[in-house]
Structure 1
Amino acid sequence: MSEDKVLPKDSDSDYSLPGRYEESNFTYEQPAISYENTPRSKSKGLAIGVIAFAIISTGFFSYYFLNQNEIDSQIVQNTLNISPEQILANQYNVGKYGSDHAHAAILVVLDGEQLNFGLPQFQLASKYIHFEDHNPYLIHKHATGVPLEMLFVSIGLKITQECIFIEYDFSNKVNEFCADEKKIVHVYLNGEKFSSDISQYEIQHNDRILITLDETSISKHLKYLDSFEIFDVPKKPLVNSDKDILI
C-alpha cells in the first residue's frame, strides 16, 4: 500500500517546503536610480502627450468636418425647440410663474374702433402675461420682470412710434396702421403721455394704457379707459400656518 500524502501541519514552518529556505535567506537589493536619465524620460513623456493630443484633436476636427452638416442641423433643431416665449423669458430674466400677479387695462384704438382682445386668437397666448376669460381689455401678469413685449409678441402686436402692426388671425396677413401728416401713434399711461418704448414697460397693478392714432379723440378714449373695471388680485392663504391668513 502506498503512503498517503500529508500536508504540513500549521506549526510547521513555511520555510521547510522545497525552495522556501533559499527565498527566506534572499536579500533584496534596490537598484540604484540613475538621475541622468530622468530629464530625458520626462521629455519623452511630454512628447508622447503632445502627439496623443494632436492625434485626438485631428480626429475630432476630422469628425466635425465630415459630419458638419448633420451637427449644424442638430444645433439648429435644438435651438428651434425653444419657444419664442421662452427665448424672451430668458432674455428679460423673467421670474418663475407665480412670482408676481398684477392686472392692468389696455385700450388700443384703430380707425376709431377698440381692438377686441376678447377674440380667441388673443386669449391665453402666453403663460406669463395674457388676456383670459374672453375679457377684451384686462391684462394678467403672472411673473416678475415681464415686459409688455412678451404680451405683444404672443398676440402678433407690434407698436412703434410710427406704426401699429397687428395680426388679426393665425394667417401671415399683417395689418399696418401707420402715422401720416394728420396722425401719429399716441401712448398714454395712467392718463399721462408716455414717450418711452411701451413694449419695454412692465405693468403694475391698476395701470391703464391707451394706444391710438386718433389724436382728436384722446380725451374721450381716456375717459372710456377709466371706466374699465380692474379686478383685484385673488389672495392666497399662507402655507404652514395655524390659521388661514390671506395675502
Structure 2
Amino acid sequence: MSKPVIGLGGVLEKAPPTSAFPSFRRLFTNEGYLSKLQKAGALPILLPMVPPTDLELLVSLCDGILLPGGPDVDPSLYNQERHELCGPSDMDVDRYQIQLFRMARKLNKPILGICRGTQLINVAQGGTLFQDYRLQSEKPIAHPDYERWGSKSHQVELSPQSKLYKLFKTHTLGVNSLHHQSVAKPGEHCIVTARSADDSIEAIELSSGAWCIGVQWHPEAMGSEMDCLFEAFIKQALSQGKSGFPRTP
C-alpha cells in the first residue's frame, strides 16, 4: 500500500530565551497532527515558508494539505479593525498559509483545516471571523476550555447532508474546544456543517473543488473516536496520489 504525503503548514514562533539563535523564529507543529496522520497511514512533512515562485513545486510534492491551529488570523485580512479581544497575529504566516491553501486548491489537493486552519480557509474564501467568542453571543459556551483540552468539552450538531455526518454517523458529536475565534460570515462555497449550542459555527465544507473540510475543534488531541476524520482525509489523498515522493510498498 502506498503512503500519501501530507504537507503541514508550519507556524512560526519566537525562539526561547535559551536559544543560541534568539533572532531566528522557529517553524513548528503539534506532534498530535503527526501521530494521527501516521496512524492513518500517511507520511507527514512540515512545510517551510518559501517564496511564491517555489510554492507550486512544494505543494505538488504533497498529496494533501493540513492547515493546523495557531495564533489569531490578522483582522485586516477580512477587512476589520483589530478588537481589543483579538490576540496576536503573524501576518507572514497568515499570508503564506492563505497562499498554501489557494495553491492546494489550484492543484486539486484535499485539505483538512483544524481550528485556526478552518478560520483561515473561511478568510481565504472571502468570509469573516468573530475576533472573540464573546462578541458573538451574550450567553456563549466557554470555548477555550483548556482543562479538557484532550476530551469532550461540549456537543456539536452535525448537518445530515454533511460529509462529517457520513463519517461519524451521528447527529451529535462531543468535541474539545480550544479556540476563542470562530467563523462569522461564511466565505464563498463554504457550507456550514456543524454548530454548537450557542450557534457558533464548528465546521465547514467547501461545495466545489477537491475534498475540503474544516473543523473548529482539535481532533488530533482526542481519542480514537476522531480517527475516521483523518482516515477519510488520507483516503482522499491516496486517490489523488500524484506527489513527487517515492511510494512505500
If asked which structure has higher relative contact order (CA below 8 Å, sep 6+), I would say: 2
Is this a same-fold pair by TM over 0.5?
A: no
Structure number having the greater strand percentage: 2
- Find the structure with the greater CA-based Rg: 1
TM-score scaled by length of structure 1: 0.21
